Amino acid sequence: MTGYARAQGSDDRRRWVWEARSVNGRNLEIRCRVPAGFDRLENPARVAVGGKLKRGNVSLTLTITSERHAKPLTINRTLLAELATLVDEVRRSTGAAAPSADGLLRVRGVIEEEESGEESEEALTVLDKALQVTLDEALKALVSSRAAEGKALARVIEGHVTEIEGLCGRATERALAQIGTVRSRFEAQLAELLGRVPALSEERFAQEVALLVGKADVREELDRLNAHIAQARTLLADARSDNPVGRKFDFLCQEFNREANTLCSKSADIELTRIGIDLKGAVERMREQVQNVE
């Protein structure tokens, strides 16, 4: 299921942004990109995603920007003293005028910016907690984004279930209409069996009759299809309650397809076969959408 979310935070030294994207996927796959030096956040981020999502390809990206504040300036007094000594020697030996103070301060290295020290373990712990709070905000927004799409997707899948239900109703009516066709075929095959030389044994004859009858009976397949329709509606109701149903729905589509295939193979009527083919198409369209369900 697709979705996008963004959350940001800051402290007195930096600003950061978490971006979370997800696209459709059969399983849960997580990719995490963090700046150098923040690798320690990857595993907690993956755990956080796994606690909220069950399917999809999820990409997390952390961007951190330092806040550049003016740093205190200091004078390198050792270097300045050496320059003063050199200037005095040059002035005495050449008679040149002494440089002004601002000229000395322009010499590289005389004025320095104080370097801020490395952050303590305590400060890093506080930073990590703040980053995780922002990540949690991004993931909550991502879940909401996916849920909004899921509601629209539920209506699409509901339409496929209704289509399948209609096809099953037509198949039930046609299965009753094909009894005459099956009876005629059975009578012709029965005459052929009775006319064989040598004649079939009673046991073999009974087996052949049972085989012909079994091939023509599609009631079990239709009963199972109707049971699958009821289960599909139950799963849709669970999905509206934010319960993960994607894997169950995926398996149910396989069972729908299995019964549709059997229906086609047992059909003794061209119209029933066409209905079975339409049924397989409807199941496949529903299966494609189910791949996007959490």
Average pLDDT over residues 53-79: 80
pLDDT at 182: 60
Average pLDDT over residues 246-252: 85
CA distance 141 to 78: 57
pLDDT at 227: 93
Confidence of residue 239 (pLDDT cuts 50, 70, 90): confident
Average pLDDT over residues 144-150: 80
- Among 141-150, 212-221, 245-254, the range scoring the smallest mean pLDDT is 212-221
Highest mean pLDDT among 68-82, 88-102, 128-142: 128-142
Residue type (1 letter), 122 = E
- pTM comes to 0.56
CA distance 214 to 53: 46
Domain coordinates of the chain in residue numbers? 73-113, 146-290
Mean pLDDT of the chain: 81
CA distances from 3 to 134, 145, 213, 287, 294 (A): 17, 5, 52, 20, 12
Residue type (1 letter), 216 = A
CA distance 169 to 222: 9
Average pLDDT over residues 81-86: 85
Confidence of residue 70 (pLDDT cuts 50, 70, 90): low
CA distance 264 to 257: 11
Of the candidates 265, 283, 275, 284, the residue with the CA atom closest to the CA atom of residue 170: 275
At 104, which helix (H) or strand (E)? helix 101-105
Of the candidates 290, 178, 171, 164, the residue with the CA atom closest to the CA atom of residue 236: 290
